[in-house]
């Protein structure tokens, strides 16, 4: 690839990058605008919070149910021992009866605790369902109110994807060192590393090029830069 062709490729890449910059800037601004909805964000935060509380309450309920089930099995096992007549010692029999009474008392307290937990869980479920409905309505309203912005966002996303694809095709034929040089120059030169030459002038800084500089830009095996602004010169044939 000749130097003139390289400069042309870089200029084409720069035009794509400038378009990408514009698209990304508009997308960012649009996304910030779309996200700047206090009511919707508040509802989303509340829904997330209640969902976490509901999950925690469901876990507490499961653990309470397991504990109650364990107490039930222990009571049944101890009552079977009492009814089996296997204990002849009065002291052992009395101790077992006391243990069963204690287990039944624990069982009663656990049942009451479980009922309270179930009430909390049911209340959280109702709140979660109500908030989910409110959030769905708010999202539908938001979508209607922002249909133009959402359509524009989709268009910009499509533009960005297309520009990225075109950019990849160009960069695939350029050497890494040259791309790094181009990228660095864009960062330090207001996004424009390449300047077109028109009417014997650098179009960025408007410095007039001497005839010898024009010849160098056309014939030199190295990319030529403007002696005034330092940008790579692109002379369109």
pLDDT tens-place string over residues 157-200: 999 999 999 999 999 999 999 999 999 999 999 999 999 998 88
Tens digits of per-residue pLDDT, 130-158?
A: 999 988 888 888 778 778 888 888 999 99
Closest residue by Cα to residue 189 from 1, 8, 2, 14:
14
Classify the C-alpha dihedral 164-170-175-177 as positive or negative. negative
Predicted local confidence at residue 232, as pLDDT: 94
Q: What is the average pLDDT score of the chain?
A: 89
Cα(21)–Cα(87) distance, integer angstroms: 88
Whether the per-residue pLDDT at 36 is higher than 70: the answer is no
Q: Which two tokens stand for residue 171?
A: 């960069």
Whole-number pLDDT of residue 15: 96
Phi, psi of 234 (to 5 degrees): -120, 110
Q: Helix crossing, 38-84 with 90-145: angle to 10°? A: 160
pTM metric for this prediction = 0.57
Q: Tokens at residue 31, please?
A: 């996304």
Region 231-235: mean pLDDT is: 91
113, 64 Cβ separation under 8 angstroms = yes
* Burial class of residue 69 in the structure, from the number of CB atoms within 10 Å of its CB (0-12 exposed, 13-18 middle, 19+ buried): exposed
61-73 mean pLDDT: 95
């Amino acid at each position: 690839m000749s130097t003139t062709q390289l400069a042309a490729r870089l200029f084409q890449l720069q035009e794509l990058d400038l378009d990408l910059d514009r698209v990304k800037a508009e997308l960012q601004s649009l996304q910030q605008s779309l996200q700047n909805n206090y009511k919707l964000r508040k509802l989303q935060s509340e829904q997330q919070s209640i969902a976490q509380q509901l999950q925690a309450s469901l876990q507490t309920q499961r653990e309470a149910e397991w504990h109650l089930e364990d107490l039930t099995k222990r009571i049944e096992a101890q009552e079977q021992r009492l009814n089996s007549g296997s204990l002849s010692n009065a002291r052992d029999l009395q101790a077992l009866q006391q243990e069963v009474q204690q287990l039944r008392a624990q069982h009663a307290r656990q049942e009451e605790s479980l009922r309270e937990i179930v009430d909390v869980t049911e209340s959280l479920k109702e709140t979660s369902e109500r908030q989910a409905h409110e959030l769905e309505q708010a999202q539908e309203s938001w979508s209607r109110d922002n249909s133009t912005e959402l359509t524009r966002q989709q268009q910009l996303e499509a533009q960005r994807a297309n520009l990225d694809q075109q950019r990849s095709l160009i960069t695939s034929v350029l050497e890494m060192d040259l791309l790094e040089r181009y990228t660095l120059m864009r960062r330090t030169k207001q996004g424009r590393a390449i300047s077109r030459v028109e009417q014997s002038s650098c179009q960025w800084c408007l410095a007039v090029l001497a005839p010898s500089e024009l010849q160098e830009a056309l014939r030199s095996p190295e990319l030529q830069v403007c002696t005034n602004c330092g940008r790579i010169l692109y002379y369109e044939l």
